Chain A
Amino acid sequence: MQFDTILSLFEYFRWRIDLNLHEYQAKFRFAEFGIPIPRGKVAHSADEAVEIAQELGLPVVVKAQVFTGGRGKAGGVKLAKTMDEVKEHASNIIGMDIKEHTVHKVLIDPGANIKSEIYLGITNDRAARKPLIMCSAEGGMDIEEVNRTMPEKIIRVHVDPLLGLRGYQVTQLASGIDLPRNHWKQFSKIVQALYECYIGSDATLTEINPLAIIEEDGEEMLRALDGKMSIDENALYRHPKLADERDTSADPEEEIIAREADLSYVSLDGQIGCMVNGAGLAMATMDLTGIFGEEYGIGPANFLDIGGGAEADKVATALRIILAEPEVKAILINIFGGITRCDDVARGILQALDEVGTDLPMVVRLVGTNQEEGREIMEAANLPNLQTARSLYEAAQKAVEVVRKAMN
C-alpha cells in the first residue's frame, strides 16, 4: 500500500525533473534485467482487460496506472475472481480520478499466493554521495512508518560507485532481514539486477515493493509484484528509448510547454506572475512577494526559473506561459544576469509582448551582465504599463502595490 510523502519544493522539483515511469513500465524494464515479474499486460478498456484475464487465467489483479500514491486506498487496485468482476473493476477504475490524476490504463496481473513481502529500493543518498540500497522484511506495508518506529528493521548498504555492488553486501542484506536461506540465491540475482537496472537506466530510484515470496505449483519463489522507477532527466540523452516512454497525459499543458522550452515552472495560487533567472533567486522573489502581500491576500502565481543563458525565445515562451494563467494580475520580472544577459531578456520580453499582447502591469528589474543595454532596449520600447525597479525589495513592493490597485 502506498502513502503520500510531503516533501519540499526542491524534492518536488527533483521528482518533476525526473522522468517517472508507470508501474508496468518499471516492471517491464526490471524484467529486461532479469528480475522475475508477474506476466501481466496493460489494458485501456474493460473489454481488453477481460481478454487479458482470459489469457492469464483467474484470479487477476486490476491495478490503476497513475503517477500518485494511495492507489489502493482510493480503490484503484482490486482483486477479480470472475470475468464479471474483471469487467466491473476495470470499467470502474479506468476513468477514475485518484488525487486529481485520471486513470487511463490498468495493469492486469495474475493473482499471486503471497507468503511474505519484502521492501527493496535503491536511490541516491545525497549526503553520502553514493547509491543506497535499502531492504526490509516489513515490505508491502507502510515502509515509512517502519522507518519512523523501527528504523533497525531497514537494512541499508551504500555502494561505492566505482567498485559497484559486491557479493558480500548482498549477503549483508539477506542476512540482515533474516531471509530464509532457500531464497538467498534468487535474492542475490534480483538485487544485482536491480542495481544494474539503476545504473544502466541512470535511475534516481528503482524500488520493488513488495518483492514477494509467493507459492506457485507447490514451490516458493521471489517475484517483484510492484515497482517504481524514476530516471534522471539530465541523463535522458543517453536513454532515448526511456525518453520516448514518457507519459505526459497527466501533466498540465503549460508544464509540458515549459519542459520542452527547458524552463522550471510550477503553478501556485497567487496573482503575481514571476519570471526570474536562477532557482534560488526565484524562490527569494516568491518569498518576498509573499511576505509583502500576505496581509492583502496577495502572493506569487507561480515559480518560474528561466535558467542560465536564457535567450530571447525562451523568455518569450516563459512570458506566454505566465500570461496564460487567468489569475495573474501583474507580472514581475527579476533578472540578475551572470550567464543570462539582460539585453537578451529585454528582447525576449518585447518579442513576447509583440506576439501575445497584454494590458497587465509589469514590474521589470534587470541587473547584471549587459544591464545598460537591457535597460536601453526596455526604455526605447516606451511601454505604458511598465515600471522598473532597482532592488528586489522595491520590485516586490511595486508588484504587490499594482495588484492591490487592480483588485480594488
Chain B
Amino acid sequence: MAILADKNSKIIVQGMTGKQGMFHSEQMIDYGTNVVGGVTPGKGGEWVLGKPIFDTVMTAREATDANCSLIFVPPPFAADAILESIDAEIPLIVCITEGIPIQDMMRVRTLLDNSNSRLLGANCPGLLTPEQAKVGIMPGYISTPGPIGVVSKSGTLTYEAVFALTERGMGQTTCVGIGGDPINGTSFIDVLQMFEDDHETEKVVLIGEIGGNDEQNAAAFIEKHMTKPVVAFIAGRRAPEGKTMGHAGALVEGGQGTAAEKIEKFEAVGVQVAEYPEQIPDLLNNVN
C-alpha cells in the first residue's frame, strides 16, 4: 500500500508540451509511471512521448479515465489550470508551478474546500511512491520501497532526506512534498493522517522549515492522533532576524514561526528533531 498515488493511478500532465513538462513527463514514463495523456490548449489531437494530447482536462478525463493531474503551467496560468482540474472533478491535483500570486491561491483554496479534489502544492516537488508512481520532479533513483513515510514542505531538502534514508537501507512507502507557499492545498496534518491509516507505513519523517505554524499544528496532531513514531527536521536554525514595515503581519496568528519555536513544540510531544538531514536515519533507529 501507498498513499495518494500508486501503480494504478492514471495521470495526465497539464503543460506536457512545454520544456519542463516534456522533460519531466519523459522521466516519469521512464520510471514506469502510468501517464495516460497530456493537456495543452490548442494542441489537442497531437501525440507527445507516445501519449495523446487534449485541449481540456475534461476531454482528457473522459478519454483516459484519469484520476490524477500534474501541473507544469507557467505562474500566470497555473491558478486557471488548477481550477480546470477541480471543475473536471480530478481527485488528486499536483501543482509543481512556483510563483503563483497569493490572491490567486486564496481563491483556489476557497473553491477547493468545497470540492471533491485534493491539491498537493503549489510550488512542490510532487510525490513519489517507489517503483510505482513518480508524480512530479523528485529524482526516482534516490528512493526505494520500504516502511518509512516522508512528508515535506521543501523541495530539494526532501531529496536530501529521502536519499539519506535510501543509502541507509530505509525504504519509503510514499514521499510527499506539500510545498512551502503560504497558501497551499494540503497540510502536514492531512498527510500525517494518511500515513497513520496506511498499513505499510511504520514510521514517518516530517521535514519543515521556518515560517507559519503548520509544524506547530502537526506537533499537536501527533500528540493526539498518531500511534506511529515521527522524526522531524526543521530548516532555518541559523536564519537571521529581519525587520518588517507594517504591523499587520505581526498581528496575525502564527506570523512568526522561528525554527526554535517549532523544534520546541516537537520535542515537547516526544518528536526527535535532527540537526541535519543525514542524521534522520539515526533518529529513526532510536524510535519505536
Contact = CB atoms under 8 A, between A and B. Distances in A.
B139 A11 contact: no
A392 B160 contact: yes
Given A8-B258, A147-B251, A160-B110, A68 B156 contact: no
A179 B142 CA distance: 61
B211 A11 contact: yes
Given A8-B211, A234-B99, A280 B235 contact: yes
A121 B251 contact: yes
Interface stretch (B191-199, B220-228, B273-281): B273-281
B155 interface: yes
Contacts of B233: 284
B236 A291 contact: no
Contacts of A69: 243-245
A268 B242 CA distance: 12
A9 B103 contact: no
Interface stretch (A40-48, A53-61, A125-133, A356-364): A125-133
Nearest to A337: B139
Nearest to B101: A235
A129 B152 CA distance: 20
A368 B137 CA distance: 10
A353 B96 CA distance: 32
A11 B244 contact: yes
B241 interface: yes
B264 to A, nearest CB: 14
Interface in A142-200: 143-144, 147, 154, 160-162, 199
B20 interface: yes
B102 A204 contact: yes
B243 A6 contact: yes
Contact of A234 (B100, B157, B258): B100
Contacts of B240: 9, 12, 266, 268
A307 B98 contact: yes
A291 B244 contact: no
A66 to B, nearest CB: 10
Among A16, A129, A309, the most chain B Cβ lie within 10 Å of the Cβ of A129
B125 A338 contact: yes
A280 B155 contact: yes
Given A11-B255, A161-B107, A162-B107, A284 B243 contact: no
Interface string B158-179: 1110011000000000000000
A75 interface: no
A225 to B, nearest CB: 15
Contact of B106 (A13, A129, A207): A129
B268 interface: no
A284 B247 contact: no
In which size bucket is the chain B interface? 35 or more
B182 interface: yes
A8 B241 contact: yes
Interface string B178-212: 00101100000000000000000000000101111
Interface string A309-336: 1000000000000000000000000001
Interface in A1-51: 3-16, 20
Contacts of B157: 278, 280-281, 283-284
Contacts of A119: 247
A283 B157 CA distance: 9
A124 interface: yes
A7 B244 contact: yes
A167 to B, nearest CB: 20
Contacts of B20: 309, 339
A23 to B, nearest CB: 10
A307 B106 CA distance: 23
22 contacts: A4-B243, A5-B249, A7-B249, A7-B255, A8-B211, A9-B210, A123-B252, A124-B106, A126-B254, A132-B248, A132-B252, A154-B251, A199-B103, A202-B103, A204-B102, A209-B246, A232-B101, A232-B102, A280-B209, A287-B237, A308-B155, A392-B160
Q: Give 4 closest A-B pairs by Cβ, nearest first.
A: A280-B154, A12-B242, A10-B211, A9-B239
Interface of A: 3-16, 20, 67-69, 119, 121-127, 129-132, 134, 143-144, 147, 154, 160-162, 199, 202, 204-205, 207, 209, 228, 230, 232, 234-235, 237-238, 266, 268, 276-281, 283-284, 286-288, 290-291, 299-300, 303, 307-309, 336-340, 367-369, 391-393, 396
Interface of B: 20, 24, 27, 75-76, 96, 98-107, 109-111, 125, 137-139, 142, 152-160, 163-164, 180, 182-183, 207, 209-213, 233, 235-259, 275-278
